[in-house]
Amino acid sequence: MGEYIRHATDWLISMLTHAGISETLAKWTGEFSMLLILILVSYLGYVITWRIMRAIVIPLMQKSKNQFDDLLIKHKFFRKLSYLVPALMLYYFIEDTITIPILITVIRKILELFFVLISILIINSILSTVNDYYEKYDFAKDHPIRGVIQVLQIIAYLLGFLFVTGLLTNRDLSSLVLSLGAVSAILLLIFKDPILGFVGGLQLIFNKMLSIGDWMSMPKFGADGIVLEINLTTVKVQNWDKTIVTIPTYNLITDSFQNWRGMEESGGRRIKRFISIDMDSIKFCDEGMLHKYGKIIVLKPYLEQTQKELDEYNNKYKIDPSSMVNGRRQTNLGVFRAYLKAYLKNRPDVRQDMTFLVRQLQPSDKGLPIEIYIFTKTIEWVRYEDIQADIFDHILAVIPEFDLRVYQSPSNMGISWLAGDLGKKL
Protein backbone atom coordinates (compact mmCIF):
# COMPACT_ATOMS: atom_id res chain seq x y z
CA MET A 1 0.00 0.00 0.00
CA GLY A 2 2.96 2.31 0.72
CA GLU A 3 4.16 2.07 -2.88
CA TYR A 4 0.73 3.04 -4.21
CA ILE A 5 0.64 6.07 -1.91
CA ARG A 6 4.14 7.10 -3.00
CA HIS A 7 3.23 6.70 -6.68
CA ALA A 8 0.02 8.68 -6.16
CA THR A 9 1.95 11.46 -4.44
CA ASP A 10 4.57 11.60 -7.22
CA TRP A 11 1.85 11.63 -9.86
CA LEU A 12 0.04 14.54 -8.13
CA ILE A 13 3.29 16.52 -7.87
CA SER A 14 4.08 15.96 -11.56
CA MET A 15 0.56 17.03 -12.54
CA LEU A 16 0.94 20.24 -10.55
CA THR A 17 4.37 20.87 -12.10
CA HIS A 18 2.99 20.41 -15.66
CA ALA A 19 0.23 22.84 -14.72
CA GLY A 20 2.83 25.57 -14.41
CA ILE A 21 3.34 25.52 -10.63
CA SER A 22 6.89 25.73 -9.39
CA GLU A 23 8.51 22.45 -8.37
CA THR A 24 8.87 23.40 -4.67
CA LEU A 25 5.30 24.64 -4.38
CA ALA A 26 4.02 21.62 -6.32
CA LYS A 27 5.89 19.31 -3.94
CA TRP A 28 4.48 20.98 -0.83
CA THR A 29 0.98 21.19 -2.28
CA GLY A 30 1.02 17.57 -3.48
CA GLU A 31 2.34 16.12 -0.23
CA PHE A 32 -0.05 18.13 1.93
CA SER A 33 -2.96 17.06 -0.27
CA MET A 34 -1.95 13.40 0.05
CA LEU A 35 -1.52 13.89 3.83
CA LEU A 36 -5.07 15.15 4.06
CA ILE A 37 -6.23 12.18 1.98
CA LEU A 38 -4.29 9.81 4.29
CA ILE A 39 -5.91 11.42 7.33
CA LEU A 40 -9.33 10.98 5.72
CA VAL A 41 -8.58 7.33 4.84
CA SER A 42 -7.34 6.74 8.40
CA TYR A 43 -10.55 8.21 9.77
CA LEU A 44 -12.56 5.95 7.45
CA GLY A 45 -10.47 3.05 8.79
CA TYR A 46 -11.56 3.99 12.33
CA VAL A 47 -15.22 4.30 11.26
CA ILE A 48 -15.15 0.91 9.53
CA THR A 49 -13.35 -0.75 12.44
CA TRP A 50 -15.81 0.64 15.00
CA ARG A 51 -18.80 -0.38 12.87
CA ILE A 52 -17.43 -3.93 12.61
CA MET A 53 -16.89 -3.94 16.37
CA ARG A 54 -20.41 -2.66 17.00
CA ALA A 55 -22.11 -4.89 14.44
CA ILE A 56 -20.23 -8.17 14.95
CA VAL A 57 -17.80 -8.28 17.88
CA ILE A 58 -19.92 -6.56 20.57
CA PRO A 59 -23.15 -8.53 19.81
CA LEU A 60 -21.15 -11.79 20.01
CA MET A 61 -19.72 -10.68 23.35
CA GLN A 62 -23.17 -9.78 24.66
CA LYS A 63 -24.54 -13.21 23.73
CA SER A 64 -21.84 -15.07 25.64
CA LYS A 65 -22.48 -16.20 29.22
CA ASN A 66 -19.22 -14.73 30.41
CA GLN A 67 -19.77 -11.38 32.13
CA PHE A 68 -16.19 -10.20 31.76
CA ASP A 69 -16.64 -9.19 28.11
CA ASP A 70 -19.88 -7.39 29.01
CA LEU A 71 -17.92 -5.30 31.47
CA LEU A 72 -15.32 -4.59 28.78
CA ILE A 73 -18.13 -3.18 26.66
CA LYS A 74 -19.38 -1.13 29.62
CA HIS A 75 -15.97 0.46 30.06
CA LYS A 76 -15.66 1.15 26.28
CA PHE A 77 -12.64 -1.11 25.78
CA PHE A 78 -13.47 -1.87 22.14
CA ARG A 79 -14.19 1.77 21.32
CA LYS A 80 -10.78 2.81 22.66
CA LEU A 81 -9.15 -0.10 20.82
CA SER A 82 -10.60 1.23 17.57
CA TYR A 83 -8.72 4.50 18.05
CA LEU A 84 -5.46 2.65 17.39
CA VAL A 85 -6.39 1.86 13.78
CA PRO A 86 -6.15 5.42 12.31
CA ALA A 87 -3.06 6.14 14.44
CA LEU A 88 -1.28 3.03 13.11
CA MET A 89 -2.23 3.84 9.53
CA LEU A 90 -0.87 7.38 9.83
CA TYR A 91 2.29 6.21 11.62
CA TYR A 92 3.29 3.56 9.08
CA PHE A 93 2.31 5.38 5.87
CA ILE A 94 3.41 8.91 6.71
CA GLU A 95 6.86 8.45 5.11
CA ASP A 96 5.26 7.25 1.89
CA THR A 97 3.07 10.36 1.81
CA ILE A 98 5.48 13.18 2.58
CA THR A 99 9.26 13.57 2.38
CA ILE A 100 9.76 16.62 4.58
CA PRO A 101 11.83 15.29 7.55
CA ILE A 102 10.74 17.93 10.07
CA LEU A 103 7.04 17.36 9.32
CA ILE A 104 7.45 13.58 9.52
CA THR A 105 9.17 13.92 12.91
CA VAL A 106 6.49 16.25 14.30
CA ILE A 107 3.61 14.06 13.10
CA ARG A 108 5.25 10.90 14.45
CA LYS A 109 5.84 12.57 17.83
CA ILE A 110 2.18 13.54 17.97
CA LEU A 111 1.15 10.00 17.02
CA GLU A 112 3.47 8.50 19.66
CA LEU A 113 1.89 10.75 22.26
CA PHE A 114 -1.50 9.62 21.02
CA PHE A 115 -0.39 5.96 21.36
CA VAL A 116 0.61 6.57 24.97
CA LEU A 117 -2.70 8.25 25.75
CA ILE A 118 -4.78 5.51 24.16
CA SER A 119 -2.68 2.81 25.84
CA ILE A 120 -3.38 4.40 29.24
CA LEU A 121 -7.09 4.58 28.48
CA ILE A 122 -7.11 0.91 27.39
CA ILE A 123 -5.22 -0.16 30.54
CA ASN A 124 -7.65 1.88 32.63
CA SER A 125 -10.60 0.13 30.97
CA ILE A 126 -9.08 -3.30 31.64
CA LEU A 127 -8.35 -2.48 35.30
CA SER A 128 -11.86 -1.07 35.84
CA THR A 129 -13.30 -4.20 34.23
CA VAL A 130 -11.22 -6.46 36.48
CA ASN A 131 -12.43 -4.55 39.55
CA ASP A 132 -16.11 -4.72 38.55
CA TYR A 133 -15.82 -8.40 37.69
CA TYR A 134 -14.14 -9.14 41.03
CA GLU A 135 -16.83 -7.24 42.96
CA LYS A 136 -19.50 -9.60 41.62
CA TYR A 137 -18.21 -12.31 43.99
CA ASP A 138 -19.32 -12.42 47.63
CA PHE A 139 -15.78 -12.56 49.03
CA ALA A 140 -15.07 -9.18 47.41
CA LYS A 141 -17.01 -7.50 50.26
CA ASP A 142 -14.43 -8.71 52.76
CA HIS A 143 -11.43 -8.25 50.45
CA PRO A 144 -12.11 -5.29 48.11
CA ILE A 145 -9.37 -4.53 45.58
CA ARG A 146 -10.56 -1.10 44.47
CA GLY A 147 -7.65 0.55 46.30
CA VAL A 148 -5.13 -1.76 44.59
CA ILE A 149 -6.74 -1.09 41.21
CA GLN A 150 -6.51 2.65 41.80
CA VAL A 151 -2.81 2.29 42.69
CA LEU A 152 -2.23 0.42 39.42
CA GLN A 153 -4.09 3.14 37.55
CA ILE A 154 -1.91 5.79 39.16
CA ILE A 155 1.20 3.79 38.19
CA ALA A 156 -0.11 3.59 34.62
CA TYR A 157 -0.67 7.36 34.55
CA LEU A 158 2.79 7.94 36.03
CA LEU A 159 4.45 5.69 33.44
CA GLY A 160 2.47 7.44 30.73
CA PHE A 161 3.67 10.79 32.02
CA LEU A 162 7.27 9.51 31.96
CA PHE A 163 6.87 8.22 28.39
CA VAL A 164 5.41 11.56 27.28
CA THR A 165 8.22 13.44 29.01
CA GLY A 166 10.78 11.16 27.38
CA LEU A 167 9.26 11.68 23.94
CA LEU A 168 9.20 15.45 24.33
CA THR A 169 12.75 15.67 25.72
CA ASN A 170 14.28 12.83 23.65
CA ARG A 171 15.38 10.94 26.75
CA ASP A 172 14.97 7.25 27.45
CA LEU A 173 12.80 5.94 30.28
CA SER A 174 15.68 4.65 32.44
CA SER A 175 17.34 8.07 32.68
CA LEU A 176 14.02 9.63 33.63
CA VAL A 177 13.45 7.04 36.37
CA LEU A 178 16.93 7.69 37.77
CA SER A 179 16.28 11.42 37.77
CA LEU A 180 13.19 10.86 39.91
CA GLY A 181 15.46 10.22 42.88
CA ALA A 182 16.21 13.92 43.05
CA VAL A 183 12.53 14.84 43.26
CA SER A 184 11.39 11.86 45.37
CA ALA A 185 10.71 14.07 48.38
CA ILE A 186 8.47 16.31 46.29
CA LEU A 187 6.66 13.28 44.84
CA LEU A 188 6.14 11.84 48.33
CA LEU A 189 4.61 15.14 49.39
CA ILE A 190 2.37 15.29 46.34
CA PHE A 191 1.23 11.67 46.70
CA LYS A 192 1.11 11.67 50.50
CA ASP A 193 -2.67 11.13 50.71
CA PRO A 194 -2.76 8.31 48.14
CA ILE A 195 0.18 6.56 49.85
CA LEU A 196 -1.37 6.88 53.32
CA GLY A 197 -4.75 5.84 51.90
CA PHE A 198 -3.24 2.81 50.21
CA VAL A 199 -1.50 1.71 53.41
CA GLY A 200 -4.66 2.31 55.42
CA GLY A 201 -6.79 0.44 52.88
CA LEU A 202 -4.49 -2.59 53.00
CA GLN A 203 -4.71 -2.65 56.80
CA LEU A 204 -8.49 -2.39 56.67
CA ILE A 205 -8.71 -5.26 54.17
CA PHE A 206 -6.15 -7.69 55.59
CA ASN A 207 -7.20 -7.13 59.21
CA LYS A 208 -10.87 -7.45 58.18
CA MET A 209 -11.67 -4.23 60.01
CA LEU A 210 -14.20 -3.01 57.45
CA SER A 211 -15.96 -4.45 54.42
CA ILE A 212 -18.35 -3.15 51.81
CA GLY A 213 -21.90 -3.45 53.12
CA ASP A 214 -20.93 -3.11 56.79
CA TRP A 215 -22.84 -0.81 59.08
CA MET A 216 -20.30 1.52 60.67
CA SER A 217 -20.45 4.59 62.92
CA MET A 218 -17.84 7.33 63.21
CA PRO A 219 -19.32 10.40 64.93
CA LYS A 220 -16.19 12.48 64.30
CA PHE A 221 -17.04 12.53 60.57
CA GLY A 222 -20.82 12.36 60.98
CA ALA A 223 -20.91 8.82 59.59
CA ASP A 224 -23.58 6.31 60.62
CA GLY A 225 -24.66 4.01 57.84
CA ILE A 226 -23.63 1.45 55.23
CA VAL A 227 -20.18 1.33 53.62
CA LEU A 228 -20.60 1.75 49.86
CA GLU A 229 -16.98 1.93 48.64
CA ILE A 230 -13.47 1.52 49.97
CA ASN A 231 -11.29 3.56 47.64
CA LEU A 232 -7.61 4.48 47.59
CA THR A 233 -7.97 7.66 49.63
CA THR A 234 -11.56 7.61 50.94
CA VAL A 235 -14.26 5.35 52.30
CA LYS A 236 -17.76 6.25 51.15
CA VAL A 237 -20.59 5.76 53.66
CA GLN A 238 -24.30 6.24 53.02
CA ASN A 239 -25.99 7.42 56.22
CA TRP A 240 -29.47 6.29 57.18
CA ASP A 241 -30.82 9.68 56.11
CA LYS A 242 -29.43 8.88 52.62
CA THR A 243 -26.66 11.48 52.83
CA ILE A 244 -23.18 10.43 51.68
CA VAL A 245 -20.11 10.87 53.89
CA THR A 246 -16.55 10.37 52.67
CA ILE A 247 -13.93 9.50 55.28
CA PRO A 248 -10.16 9.56 54.59
CA THR A 249 -9.06 5.92 54.61
CA TYR A 250 -6.07 6.54 56.82
CA ASN A 251 -8.30 8.12 59.51
CA LEU A 252 -10.01 4.77 59.96
CA ILE A 253 -6.64 3.42 61.13
CA THR A 254 -5.55 6.35 63.29
CA ASP A 255 -9.01 7.08 64.81
CA SER A 256 -11.66 4.79 66.27
CA PHE A 257 -14.89 3.74 64.61
CA GLN A 258 -17.68 1.30 65.41
CA ASN A 259 -18.42 -1.63 63.10
CA TRP A 260 -21.80 -3.29 63.64
CA ARG A 261 -20.88 -6.40 61.66
CA GLY A 262 -20.61 -8.51 64.85
CA MET A 263 -24.19 -7.67 65.75
CA GLU A 264 -25.41 -8.58 62.28
CA GLU A 265 -23.50 -11.87 62.27
CA SER A 266 -24.76 -12.84 65.74
CA GLY A 267 -28.38 -12.55 64.64
CA GLY A 268 -29.38 -10.57 67.72
CA ARG A 269 -29.56 -6.86 68.45
CA ARG A 270 -29.09 -5.48 71.94
CA ILE A 271 -31.68 -3.57 73.96
CA LYS A 272 -29.96 -1.66 76.76
CA ARG A 273 -32.30 0.82 78.39
CA PHE A 274 -33.35 1.66 81.92
CA ILE A 275 -36.33 3.12 83.75
CA SER A 276 -35.80 5.14 86.92
CA ILE A 277 -37.97 4.10 89.86
CA ASP A 278 -38.99 6.62 92.50
CA MET A 279 -37.22 5.28 95.62
CA ASP A 280 -39.99 6.59 97.87
CA SER A 281 -42.32 3.98 96.36
CA ILE A 282 -40.13 0.98 97.27
CA LYS A 283 -41.42 -1.02 100.28
CA PHE A 284 -41.85 -4.46 101.83
CA CYS A 285 -44.75 -6.60 100.61
CA ASP A 286 -47.58 -7.24 103.07
CA GLU A 287 -50.08 -10.07 102.79
CA GLY A 288 -52.48 -8.01 100.71
CA MET A 289 -49.81 -7.09 98.21
CA LEU A 290 -48.59 -10.69 97.92
CA HIS A 291 -52.17 -11.86 97.40
CA LYS A 292 -52.64 -9.26 94.62
CA TYR A 293 -49.35 -10.18 92.95
CA GLY A 294 -50.22 -13.88 93.18
CA LYS A 295 -53.02 -13.32 90.66
CA ILE A 296 -50.40 -12.57 87.99
CA ILE A 297 -49.96 -15.93 86.25
CA VAL A 298 -46.28 -15.61 85.30
CA LEU A 299 -45.41 -14.55 88.88
CA LYS A 300 -47.25 -17.29 90.80
CA PRO A 301 -44.43 -19.93 90.66
CA TYR A 302 -41.83 -17.35 91.69
CA LEU A 303 -43.91 -16.00 94.59
CA GLU A 304 -44.69 -19.47 95.96
CA GLN A 305 -41.08 -20.65 95.74
CA THR A 306 -39.62 -17.44 97.17
CA GLN A 307 -42.15 -17.20 100.00
CA LYS A 308 -41.48 -20.82 100.95
CA GLU A 309 -37.73 -20.12 101.18
CA LEU A 310 -38.29 -16.96 103.24
CA ASP A 311 -40.70 -18.69 105.63
CA GLU A 312 -38.24 -21.53 106.16
CA TYR A 313 -35.46 -19.06 106.90
CA ASN A 314 -37.56 -16.96 109.28
CA ASN A 315 -38.86 -20.04 111.13
CA LYS A 316 -35.37 -21.54 111.39
CA TYR A 317 -34.00 -18.45 113.06
CA LYS A 318 -37.25 -17.68 114.97
CA ILE A 319 -37.65 -14.23 113.50
CA ASP A 320 -40.13 -11.93 115.24
CA PRO A 321 -42.80 -11.18 112.59
CA SER A 322 -44.19 -8.17 114.46
CA SER A 323 -41.78 -5.87 112.64
CA MET A 324 -41.30 -6.14 108.90
CA VAL A 325 -37.67 -5.10 109.33
CA ASN A 326 -36.91 -8.41 111.03
CA GLY A 327 -35.86 -11.39 108.92
CA ARG A 328 -36.18 -11.65 105.21
CA ARG A 329 -39.15 -10.33 103.26
CA GLN A 330 -40.13 -9.69 99.70
CA THR A 331 -40.20 -6.17 98.30
CA ASN A 332 -42.40 -4.80 95.61
CA LEU A 333 -39.26 -3.90 93.62
CA GLY A 334 -37.90 -7.47 93.87
CA VAL A 335 -41.25 -8.85 92.72
CA PHE A 336 -41.30 -6.33 89.90
CA ARG A 337 -37.85 -7.46 88.71
CA ALA A 338 -38.98 -11.09 88.84
CA TYR A 339 -42.03 -10.13 86.77
CA LEU A 340 -39.86 -8.42 84.17
CA LYS A 341 -37.69 -11.55 83.83
CA ALA A 342 -40.73 -13.78 83.43
CA TYR A 343 -42.38 -11.39 80.99
CA LEU A 344 -39.27 -11.11 78.80
CA LYS A 345 -38.63 -14.87 78.86
CA ASN A 346 -42.14 -15.44 77.54
CA ARG A 347 -41.68 -13.08 74.60
CA PRO A 348 -40.96 -15.03 71.38
CA ASP A 349 -38.94 -12.16 69.90
CA VAL A 350 -36.31 -12.11 72.69
CA ARG A 351 -33.25 -14.37 72.54
CA GLN A 352 -32.67 -16.57 75.56
CA ASP A 353 -29.23 -17.84 74.44
CA MET A 354 -27.57 -14.42 74.67
CA THR A 355 -26.96 -12.05 77.58
CA PHE A 356 -30.23 -11.68 79.52
CA LEU A 357 -30.24 -9.24 82.46
CA VAL A 358 -32.74 -7.26 84.50
CA ARG A 359 -30.51 -5.36 86.91
CA GLN A 360 -30.27 -2.39 89.24
CA LEU A 361 -27.87 0.41 88.48
CA GLN A 362 -26.35 2.93 90.86
CA PRO A 363 -29.08 4.96 92.65
CA SER A 364 -28.89 8.70 92.15
CA ASP A 365 -30.91 11.84 92.69
CA LYS A 366 -32.84 10.75 89.60
CA GLY A 367 -34.14 7.59 91.26
CA LEU A 368 -33.16 3.93 91.11
CA PRO A 369 -32.50 2.76 87.50
CA ILE A 370 -33.79 -0.70 86.56
CA GLU A 371 -32.00 -1.67 83.34
CA ILE A 372 -33.17 -4.12 80.70
CA TYR A 373 -30.17 -5.75 78.95
CA ILE A 374 -31.39 -8.29 76.39
CA PHE A 375 -31.09 -9.17 72.68
CA THR A 376 -33.88 -9.38 70.13
CA LYS A 377 -34.13 -12.15 67.55
CA THR A 378 -34.07 -9.66 64.71
CA ILE A 379 -31.38 -7.24 63.56
CA GLU A 380 -33.71 -5.37 61.20
CA TRP A 381 -33.88 -1.79 62.43
CA VAL A 382 -37.61 -1.06 62.12
CA ARG A 383 -38.68 -4.36 63.68
CA TYR A 384 -36.09 -3.91 66.45
CA GLU A 385 -37.46 -0.48 67.34
CA ASP A 386 -41.02 -1.87 67.39
CA ILE A 387 -40.02 -4.65 69.79
CA GLN A 388 -38.17 -2.23 72.06
CA ALA A 389 -41.11 0.17 72.12
CA ASP A 390 -43.59 -2.65 72.85
CA ILE A 391 -41.50 -3.84 75.80
CA PHE A 392 -41.20 -0.43 77.41
CA ASP A 393 -44.81 0.48 76.67
CA HIS A 394 -45.79 -2.56 78.71
CA ILE A 395 -43.27 -1.87 81.50
CA LEU A 396 -44.41 1.74 81.95
CA ALA A 397 -48.04 0.64 82.05
CA VAL A 398 -47.46 -2.22 84.53
CA ILE A 399 -45.27 -0.38 87.08
CA PRO A 400 -48.25 1.04 89.08
CA GLU A 401 -49.58 -2.53 89.51
CA PHE A 402 -46.59 -3.17 91.80
CA ASP A 403 -47.20 -0.04 93.86
CA LEU A 404 -44.17 1.60 92.30
CA ARG A 405 -43.78 4.99 90.63
CA VAL A 406 -41.58 6.08 87.74
CA TYR A 407 -39.29 8.92 88.68
CA GLN A 408 -39.50 12.02 86.53
CA SER A 409 -38.76 15.69 87.01
CA PRO A 410 -41.86 17.69 87.96
CA SER A 411 -43.91 18.75 84.96
CA ASN A 412 -46.16 21.81 84.74
CA MET A 413 -49.08 19.63 85.78
CA GLY A 414 -47.13 18.28 88.74
CA ILE A 415 -46.20 21.76 89.93
CA SER A 416 -49.82 22.89 89.53
CA TRP A 417 -51.03 19.90 91.50
CA LEU A 418 -48.46 20.56 94.26
CA ALA A 419 -49.43 24.25 94.45
CA GLY A 420 -53.12 23.36 94.67
CA ASP A 421 -52.50 20.74 97.35
CA LEU A 422 -50.48 23.20 99.45
CA GLY A 423 -53.18 25.84 99.00
CA LYS A 424 -55.81 23.48 100.43
CA LYS A 425 -53.63 22.69 103.44
CA LEU A 426 -53.01 26.34 104.11
What Rg, from alpha-carbon coordinates, does the chain have? Answer: 41
pLDDT cut 70: percent of the chain above it: 80
User: What's the pLDDT tens digit per position in 326-378?
Assistant: 888 999 999 999 999 999 999 999 999 999 999 999 999 889 999 999 999 99
* pTM of the model as a whole: 0.58
Instruction: Give CA–CA dist 80/129, Å, rounded.
Output: 14
Contact 399, 406 (CB under 8 A): yes
Which CATH architecture group holds 140-266?
Roll (2.30)
Q: Which residues of 170-196 are buried (b: 16+ CB within 10 A; e: fewer)?
A: eeeeeeeeeeeeeeeeeeeeeeeebbb
When pLDDT is cut at 50, 70 and 90, the band that residue 420 belongs to is low
Per CATH, the number for 269-283+331-418 is 3.30.70.100
Binning pLDDT at 50, 70 and 90, where does residue 2 land? very low
238 in Cβ contact with 226 (< 8 Å): yes
Cross-strand bridge partners of residue 86: none
Report the DSSP beta bridge partners of residue 373.
272, 357
Domains 140-266 and 269-283+331-418 share a fold: no
C-alpha 328/C-alpha 322 separation (Å) is 13
User: 392-410 pLDDT, tens per residue?
Assistant: 999 999 999 999 999 987 7
Alpha-helical runs (H) found in 317-370: 332-345
Q: pLDDT tens for residues 145-169?
A: 777 787 788 778 878 877 877 777 7
| Residue 269 β-bridge partners | 376
The SS3 assignment for 173 reads helix
Helices (H), 213-319: 251-254, 261-266, 287-293, 300-316
